[in-house]
Amino acid sequence: MSTEFDLIARYFDRPAPPGYLGVGDDCALIPLTPGHRLATSTDLLIQGRHFFPDMDPRALGHKALAVNLSDLAAMGARPLACLLGLSVPSVDHAWLEAFAGGFHALAQRAGCPLVGGDTTRSEGGIAISVTVMGEVPPGDALRRSAARAGDDIWLTGTLGAPDVALRLLQGRLPPDERLLAGTRRRLEWPEPPLAFAAALAGIAHAALDISDGLVQDLGHILKASACGAELDYAELPVDEALAEAGLADELIRDAVLAGGDVYQLCFTAAPAERARILDLAGHMAQRVSRVGRILAAPGLRLRHGDRAVALPAQGGFDHFS
């Protein structure tokens, strides 16, 4: 028999960095840089809704933290620490070992140590709640409301692969081993561009991470900034795995424009910053694409070269629609 405290000691209690007080007391203590703001965000992952019951637990541990680090990246914040709330129906040591392994590996790489949490038994499936904390100088935070007419719109990484992997796993696309092998990693092992995002401080205006689909998420920037935008479909970074699989154009378009689970950045910056952004991306081996521009007139327009293109009817993911 394992007690709750055995589980915590074995899987979650890790030495905290110098200056920190980690797992084991009533609260964790985290050193802060004077003058910075605390940036904090939380995400809940529920079995059956956000992940399949048989998902590789190591990938799940990674993803539970990655989706939260993505929010810090989108704010331009540097990670400080994270908290983990975990509810499991039973003690499965192999599962816990792998889950904690995936979680701690990313936490260490991202400089975001696990400093506390809560562990309970659940009556249903597994529920995972991660809270991240980071810091950012107040003037450097990449707010959604900071886009300006004339800004370029940029994306990191590629689009569409997580959505296609999800469709394959849900049986909404005919089985295709090769395509699944080419897309699954993007769904289960997202890598938010943390270092690049932090380097955008003082360069980018607005930013957010694409979790619910490009069209819907860009819409949040447009609403918060009271402006419109034009996207050029020809410039969108379609994931190579999709382009090579001979999928129908319409399916690719839906996956690219409305597919969620991307955890890459959409950001805006003045055209005068183009060279600096490309230079930075080159040095950091970060893929970036300039895909459109912010307009004063409200609304989102999509074109393909000189042709206007209709936006997908279903713009992105909504838990309650």
Q: What are the residues binding ligand ADP (CB under 6 A)?
A: 8, 12, 23-26, 84, 86, 114, 116-119
What's the count of helices (H) and strands (E) in the chain, helices before strands? 10, 11
43 is in an annotated binding site: yes
Q: Which is nearer to ligand ADP, 84 or 262 (CB)?
A: 84
Minimum Å gap between C-beta 130 and ligand ADP is 10
- Any known ligand binding at 319? no
**Euclidean distance between the first and the last CA atom of the chain, given in angstroms as a whole number:** 43
Residues 6 or more apart whose Cβ sits within 8 Å of residue 314: 254, 258
- Kindly provide the b/e burial profile for residues 103-132, where b requires at least 16 CB atoms within 10 angstroms of the residue's own CB: bbebbeebebbbbbbebeeeeeebbbbbbb
Q: Which is nearer to ligand ADP, 128 or 281 (CB)?
A: 128
CA dist 29 and 35 (Å) reads 18
Q: C-beta of 62: minimal distance to ligand ADP in Å?
A: 15
The whole-angstrom distance between residue 117's C-alpha and the CA centroid of its chain comes to 21
Distance CA 136, CA 130 (A): 20
212 is annotated as contributing to ligand binding: yes
Q: How far is the CB of 211 from ligand ADP (least distance, A)?
A: 23
Q: Which is nearer to ligand ADP, 23 or 161 (CB)?
A: 23
* 116 binding partner (options Mg ion, ligand ADP, none; Cβ < 5 to 8 Å by kind): ligand ADP
Contacted entry of ligand ADP, Mg ion, none for residue 119, CB cut-off 5 to 8 Å set by kind? ligand ADP
Q: Which phi and psi angles does 211 have, rounded to 5°?
A: -110, -30
| 206 contact choice in Mg ion, ligand ADP, none (CB below 5 to 8 Å, kind-dependent) | none
13 is in an annotated binding site: no
Between 91 and 169, CB nearer to ligand ADP:
91
Distance from C-alpha of 159 to C-alpha of 291, rounded to nearest angstrom: 12
Q: How far is the CB of 11 from ligand ADP (least distance, A)?
A: 8
In one-letter notation, the amino acid at residue 296 is: A
Nearest alpha carbon to residue 161 among 243, 231, 219, 218: 243
Which residue's CB is nearer to ligand ADP, number 127 or number 187?
A: 127
Interface contacts to Mg ion, rule CB under 5 A: 118
Binding site as annotated, residues for substrate: 50, 261, 317
Binding site as annotated, residues for Mg(2+): 26, 41-43, 71, 118, 209, 212
